[in-house]
A and B are shown apart, each in its own frame.
Chain A
């Protein structure tokens, strides 16, 4: 059971206080989008062994959404940050680069 820190209210708590909502930084495609773009947006998710950016909600706390950067294998937490961003903040990227020198930021991050 992971421990996460909610960046909105500052509380550090057990995973049961939160809820995971899958991959972060998706780009929404709506009417007018091609079938491929829409399919990618709706269904296709990365499932990396290693660094992953995720959406979480502090569901039994402040109720706010946030993002977390986490290693899916070692369960190391690189940090949590606001959900009101479409890119990964630089300090999170720096932290991951320090811990995972071989890692490259995803496109657009």
Chain B
């Protein structure tokens, strides 16, 4: 069993007991524990079930590489799934629950899959679920969805807050182990601005566990001294619990700081995302131990050798009374030695190597009386929810058991792989190091920055150096080189510290244990614990022709779990290489992508949530609308009133009332959001002639003209009324959503194509409050305000004039988007509310009512006016909409003209705009398609048109619509069928799109 022992536990505060729960069971640990170490101290080795076979799984590692110990943590608004027990610091009241089992962790029905594993090989899903076709939707998918997925999705809104920090430095050091500390010290001594990040709560990395001495001091003293030295330097910023999550272009790095995961009750944000720009990045990210591939290597109790040592030294936890150590290198001997020195039993060290002489570590193990079996391996591990024994065999053989050793834990070491993720994120290349049997950074092919030179340097174990002395010298030299290229100079007094050297025997690559393991053993040999990928799966993939490592990864799901293959990567590559009879560097690696370790979505979002998710644009009248019943509609970043609801009124009723009132009496519309762009200069007319399909240069000052704008593709992108202010100046109205886009469009052509045109453009949308006064009583209302002549003779339709109304300086445009007598009046934005109030007072006896965007839509649809975004969708040209009258035939050129001559654009079968009237007066469903005769090549009914706008018209008392229909204008009176998504088929007659006041008499009075 695993338990807490009396000695050890350098990270624990044993005077502070902490209580927590696991699957509802109350347990106790100490301050300083991780959730994993506390679970182990309580003999909770079984922590989860694997993804595919639901195999019982225990803790394997002690850091972020852990594949098994994933927990649901917390509850309610602080619930989070898939949290690693090994990186979760214990706190009082922590609630953890294991995942991926039903009904319980101890007894899981899904474990039946493990007996079916013969029938669930690599690519099983692809092979099995393809036939019969209808089964996918109705049988397979629901079952898979029910059983798939680790953890539960949170149901409540996140209670916590998150924030972003921006930081800049000369040298960013990622990793606060001995290499990172030395690199940071060296860089700081040169005067460079340094940021040092460490993902855990402790400085020094794993060096204090591994031991050694620096300049005669213990490693712990060395780390403490260094940390104290750095802490007082003004040019150094140090952050613990901050992971270097990703390295991006030109020295951009994301750091992920956990502020209160270990203390959820404290105030402030939970996570902080550091957005760092560094002159140079030093990755001192250390290395990760590899598992060995032997049968039963996933049974709870089989752990990485260094993790066994970590739990013993850091947390005073013995993972087993009798631990068999199995290895291909010297480092695992440290675990055996530490266990025996702590009074625990190591029945044997099974060392796959055959060596001529003993290294000092081997000699020390033998001296302690440990049985060292060279050339031996594990044939298989016995046990169900816990290791009970191992069968020993020769590494060179096929797995014939020589003896069985009783044990309750296995410590395995397949060697160490440098953590190259951050080096690789932005394109750093790797080389295969056959001595390490691992990939390490290729120093000649670093990721390159804006100047074309490398901006990342790996240091220490991350660069492939493993002896303490080598690590310190490499880190010092790396930082020296980095600061020199940045233009700093290291003082002569700054030299690298020296550490006591310990000679080790070379590692022997072992990718399969035993070397000739038969098929039966390979089927029980796990590579990827979380996704249940075995040696047999990778070999099968190779056999089926998946020779590319990227394909094999996706076919087998090797390395695709939330640990991203931190443990399985190299073993998987080696297995594939073996099956393909290729060498490992030829097979290559899969791509390392950020983040290094999962980060919270909350941290990515930062402060941008809720009300500050994006800016809200308010018109000068926003507050008035708000207190007068406005039902808001988002239009771009604006909010516009959809309708003004009165008490007891439905939204639909309100809209109907507003339409009727505006047609009969008068309405006010807040039109301030409409884009207003000034185009000014001697070439303004020439420029607008290129932008609009119609001639604008011929417009006389004082007059308005409706214009269409197309992209160079010929498609309609915006429309609006242009007013000529004087010879050199035009004011172009755009749609609400189009103002910024059209302004940019104008700037683009002026700056990048016609830079010789003498024209300036300015977006003055927000400078004005613009109010449409609409309806038969509109003129009377303005006359009541008084101050200027607004008669038909003084201000005709499609004219504008400057003046003063009721004491307000204003500009009045006589333009109409409703078909009614209409004045759009612009006043300074700051006077908007006062002017609106004056209009409401003046209009009181005249039946004034404000109206919203839905009323606006109905008014324009009754008149057959198009709306950008309804009748257009980026594939519609003006000719489709019967707007040929708005296209100049005289102009040689305008944006979109050449495109509109392309064969597809002049195709007579393009759908054209028509009006549609249901035969029974009902409202056509929005977006419905009209079906015609016959079927297409996909056996679908042929479609011959679609609805673009559809409303109930209170004016006409029936449903009206516009749509694009094949040969539409030639088929007036024909009835088309529109099947709705509600199962009904709607019949509508093709009619003229102008439903109301076809001669335009009402707007022209």
Contact = CB atoms under 8 A, between A and B. Distances in A.
B250 interface: yes
A100 B867 CA distance: 52
B449 interface: yes
Q: Quick one: which of B277, B450, B748 has the most chain A CB within 10 A?
A: B450
Given A3-B250, A31-B892, A42-B713, A74 B452 contact: yes
A65 B752 contact: yes
B740 to A, nearest CB: 10
Given A2-B249, A3-B250, A29 B751 contact: no
Interface string A8-32: 0000001100000100000011111
A93 interface: no
A107 interface: no
B753 interface: yes
Contacts of A109: none
B249 A38 contact: no
B252 interface: yes
B975 interface: no
A31 B822 CA distance: 39
B751 A2 contact: no
Contacts of A14: 252, 277
A31 B901 contact: yes
A63 B249 CA distance: 23
A75 B901 contact: no
A75 B898 contact: no
A83 B751 contact: yes
B893 A30 contact: yes
Interface residues of A, number: 29
A32 B446 CA distance: 51
A102 interface: no
A64 to B, nearest CB: 6
Given A1-B249, A42-B713, A55-B752, A77 B901 contact: no
Interface in B211-265: 248-252
Contact of B250 (A32, A42, A65, A75): A75
A46 interface: no
Contacts of B748: 21, 57, 65
A76 to B, nearest CB: 4
Nearest to A39: B902
A28 B753 CA distance: 8
Contacts of B753: 28
A47 to B, nearest CB: 18
Contacts of A28: 753
B129 interface: no
A55 B277 CA distance: 24
A54 B783 CA distance: 57
Contacts of B625: none
A2 B426 CA distance: 12
A63 B751 CA distance: 10
A65 B893 CA distance: 24
A99 interface: yes
B860 interface: no
A1 B252 contact: yes
B752 A42 contact: no
A55 B749 CA distance: 12
Nearest to A77: B450
Nearest to A55: B752
Interface string A22-66: 000000111111010010001000000000000101010001110
A71 B912 CA distance: 46
A15 B755 CA distance: 25
B751 A76 contact: no
A76 B752 contact: no
B425 interface: no
A74 B250 contact: no
A85 B748 CA distance: 14
Interface in B452-469: 452
A60 to B, nearest CB: 12
Nearest to B755: A84
A76 B427 CA distance: 13
Q: Quick one: which of B250, B897, B899, B902 has the most chain A CB within 10 A?
A: B250
A31 B752 contact: no
Contacts of A57: 744, 748
Given A1-B248, A3-B250, 19 more contacts: A1-B252, A14-B277, A21-B748, A30-B897, A31-B897, A32-B898, A35-B902, A42-B899, A55-B752, A59-B744, A65-B747, A65-B748, A65-B751, A75-B448, A75-B450, A76-B450, A76-B451, A77-B451, A83-B752
10 contacts: A31-B893, A42-B899, A59-B744, A65-B751, A65-B752, A75-B249, A75-B250, A75-B449, A76-B449, A83-B751
7 A-B pairs closest in CB distance? A76-B452, A84-B755, A65-B751, A74-B448, A1-B252, A77-B450, A3-B250
Interface of B: 248-252, 277, 427, 448-452, 712-713, 744, 747-748, 751-753, 755, 892-893, 897-899, 901-903
